[in-house]
Amino acid sequence: MPTAFPIGTTIGISEMGDTLRAAAFLDKGGTGKTTTVAHLGVALTEQGHEVLLLDLAGKQGDLAKHFGVWDGYQDRIGDDEAWPNISTVFDDAWDTIAGKLGDDAVADLVIPTEEGPDLIPAHPGLDTLDSELGNIDDARERYSRLEQFLDEYVDPLEYDIILIDLPGMTNNVSYNGLWAARHVITPVEMGPFEAEQADALRQDLEKIAENFAVDIELSLVLPNKVDTRTNLAEEYLDAFTEAYPDAIAPAYVPYSQDIRNAAENGETAFAIPEPSTTASRAREAYLDAATALTDRLGGASHE
């Protein structure tokens, strides 16, 4: 059930470091959030940025699968070696755990990928995280656990940008991600339901700004899996451009079977040695989106 924001509650805006943050979110599954996070992460790396990806989307580990590291991490889970993990950082005892582990606390969370970005993968502990956060009475404490972790433990690692993959539903976990990132990436397919959901998201962000002293900005609306051979797709492209002139991506991502095949092989389209025309266009679209995103988050592109 969606978490209600208590009217009149005031939450102060924290001091963020130089690390840029954005979270991929839409209250709907299957829109390509994980694929978008993976490809934007690689695109940003190609542009010279140090990137950390964080998977809160569920225990399935889809982001880790995208980079071919999920099987190895599952082995660690099976051997009870995946501790600490992403769910641990939300725990009341995290500061104590981190204090005892020292530098290894965060280092043990992070997995490097062959395509450039580092990754903090999903973990089965995410299954119960929403209800555990729901037991926290204080609103600031409930919604700011991830922000506290990033501020205190991840920002000192000096990544240029952190991208967070959120669940395809509105819950305490997704609110934590939105709270911590303050900037939202929304991949949308060309259809009426996606248009309605994107508009609902914008209204939700306005409610958050109204109920709390915190602004969360819709920074990148990325049309995804677009097939412009249909007139309907062109109409929706025009509609999204008109509805989100300041957030729309500079180019759409075309539908490409190559991207699906690459994901099944544990890689992104950037790793395809001989990409098809649609995969090449998709790579260019992600590169353009990455540039636009860093500009909108306030970061200069690396030379």
pLDDT at position 108, please? 87
> Do 172 and 182 meet the contact criterion of CB atoms below 8 Å apart?
no
Report whether pLDDT(6) > 90: no
Q: pLDDT tens-digit profile of 214-225? A: 788 999 999 999
Scored b (16 or more CB within 10 A) or e, 229-239 reads: eeeebeebbee
Residue whose C-alpha is closest to residue 194's, from 45, 81, 28: 28
pLDDT at position 157, please? 92
Mean pLDDT in residue range 60-75 = 94
Q: Residues 6 or more apart from 300 whose CB is under 8 A from it? A: 294
Q: pLDDT tens-digit profile of 211-266? A: 666 788 999 999 999 987 877 888 888 888 988 999 999 999 999 999 999 999 99
pTM over 0.75: yes
Report whether pLDDT(107) > 80: yes
Q: How confident is the model at residue 277 (pLDDT cuts 50, 70, 90)?
A: very high
